[in-house]
Structure 1
Amino acid sequence: MHGPYIYKLSQAHNLDLLTSTSIKALSSQTVIVELRNDYTRAKNNVAELSKRYGPRHDKMIHANAQFNEAEQNAQKALQQLALGFKNNLTLLQQNESAIVAALQGKKLNTVLSLNKKPVTTNLTVS
């Protein structure tokens, strides 16, 4: 399962859009696809405008602001998805523990009920 891996990556490395494309669980998320497209458009816009304008030009300032916003939105969305995966994993682990405990209890009850049954033998004493 990808959940804990994604959560650890997002906490340790500020998971970015490029990393998320290599994680199948994230790359198919509609939100991630849209955010990645916004991020790529903003990045390409900055690259294109930087060929014509200096860093203090109004268009460059605006393009950089859009790029930073796209990057921040992507980070927030990835953090939320990672946290969701972590919460789902925790819930699944709790369910697994409850099932294991129920099975152990059932096994114990079966053993105890077998111990209560009288054992009959066909031995005769002479």
Structure 2
Amino acid sequence: LFVAEEKKKNEDVKREELRREFEQQEVRRETKSLIHGESGGMAFMYNKPPGYMEARERKGAKDPDKEKTPAERDTDRFGQLLAHAPREGGYTTSMEVSHKPFGVELRKVQCKKCGAWGHSNG
């Protein structure tokens, strides 16, 4: 019985200390907001940066490759080698086809250094 009473007494003391500490933090927060005149706090982190929507619209309008099929993109990337390459039926537009004109493998990688397709740097 004595141990239970002491335990309850200690819990009440801790709860009171936490409540007092919370009130002090609230008072500090209020005084800081009055001094700086800001009421938003961290709300700026959730707002989009200025110019974000315009840049996104420009990027979306600039990339016409998304509307093309993989075979059409390959033709654009590898130019004359695949311009008149034979394609049988519509099934080649939806499946990955590895082209090897004249025994030269055309890899679907882009070089980070020069930006050309078919090889990679590194």
Q: Same fold (TM over 0.5)?
A: no
**Larger helix proportion of the pair:** 1
Highest CA radius of gyration, 1 or 2?
2
Q: TM-score, normalised by structure 2?
A: 0.30
- Greater relative CO, 1 or 2 (CA 8 Å, sep 6+): 1
Q: TM-score, normalised by structure 1?
A: 0.29
